[in-house]
Amino acid sequence: MKSVKQIVERYNKRERSLIAMLQDIQKEKGYLPKEALKIVAAEVSVPLSRLYSLATFYKAFSLTPRGRHTINVCTGTACHVRGAAKLVEKLERDLGIRNGETTADERFTLEEVRCVGCCGLAPVMVIDENFHGKLTQKDIGKVLEKYQ
């Protein structure tokens, strides 16, 4: 948990930068481990409940571990009218999980997100940080193979 201290230092232990600290921890660990939150609370001198309220309010945070790869299916309006719901259905069926869940082998976490701003390529899904656009149900299998 040394890296958590470094993250806190990066923002000079400033209380107003709590969200940025949590974002960095989320990026590094894939979620917000309880131990990490305790360190942040102690270092910045805020109650743990304060961090919990941030972690549960903002969509970017997760309190449970995620899969090795996060699939974000864009469900913005443009993707919606071009069939995003069908992609979600196909993924849920193939992976055997629902929106927000992680596969038992911890390979994938599936999430719906609101507009990633690539509407020209709708419907879009983002795996980790890679964008895949103009998808149909048929394409899904091939795309997932790349992520083991």
Partner 1 sequence: MDSRKYRTHVLVCAGTGCVSNRSMLIKDAFEQEIKKRGLEEEVQIIATGCQGFCERGPIAIVQPEDVFYQELSEKDIPLLVEEHFLKGRPYKKCMYVPEDAKKEIPKLMDIDFFKHQMLVVLRNRGRMDPEKIDEYIAFDGYQALAKALTGMSPEEIIEEIKISGLRGRGGGGFPTAIKWALCKKSPGDVKYLICNADEGDPGAYMDRSILEADPHAVLEGMTIGAKAIGASKGFIYVRDEYPLAVRRIKNAIEQATDYGLLGENILDTGFSFEVEVIRGGGAFVCGEETALMASIEGRPGRPSARPPYPAEKGLWGKPTNINNVETWANVPIIIQRSGAWYATLGTEKSKGTKVFSLVGKINNSGLVEVPMGIPLRQIIYGIGGGIPGGKKFKAVQSGGPSGGCVPASLLDLPVDYEKLTEAGAIMGSGGLIVMDEETCMVDIALYFINFLVDESCGKCTPCRVGLVRMKELLEKITSGNGEPGDVEGLESLADLIKKTALCGLGNTAPNPVLTTLRYFRDEYEAHVNEKRCPAGVCKALITFTIDPEKCTGCTLCARNCPVEAISGEKKEAHIIDQDICTRCGACKEACRFDAITVE
Nearest alpha-carbon partner for 69 in 140, 129, 134: 129
Our CB check for partner 1 shows the closer of 6 and 130 to be: 130
Interface residue with partner 1, options 1, 42, 63, 81 (CB under 8 A): 81
CB of 139 to partner 1, least distance (A): 10
- Decide: is 64 part of the binding site for partner 1 (CB under 8 A): no
- Decide: is 98 part of the binding site for partner 1 (CB under 8 A): no
- Decide: is 15 part of the binding site for partner 1 (CB under 8 A): yes
Interface residue with partner 1, options 5, 133, 143, 147 (CB under 8 A): 133
3-state SS assignment for residue 142: helix
Contact between 116 and 74 under an 8 Å Cβ cutoff? The reply is yes
Written as six digits, the tokens of 1 are 């948990």
User: Which of these ranges, 31-39, 62-70, 99-107, 127-135, lies near partner 1 under the rule CB under 8 A?
Assistant: 127-135
- In the DSSP assignment, the letter for residue 15 is G
12 burial type by CB count under 10 A (0-12 exposed, 13-18 middle, 19+ buried)? exposed
CB of 80 to partner 1, least distance (A): 5
80 burial type by CB count under 10 A (0-12 exposed, 13-18 middle, 19+ buried)? middle
Q: Which residues ranging from 25 to 44 are in contact with partner 1 (CB under 8 A)?
A: none
- Decide: is 17 part of the binding site for partner 1 (CB under 8 A): yes
3-state SS assignment for residue 102: strand
- Interacting residue ranges for partner 1, rule: CB under 8 A: 15-20, 22-23, 53-54, 57-61, 75-78, 80-83, 86, 89-90, 93, 113-122, 124, 129-133, 136-138
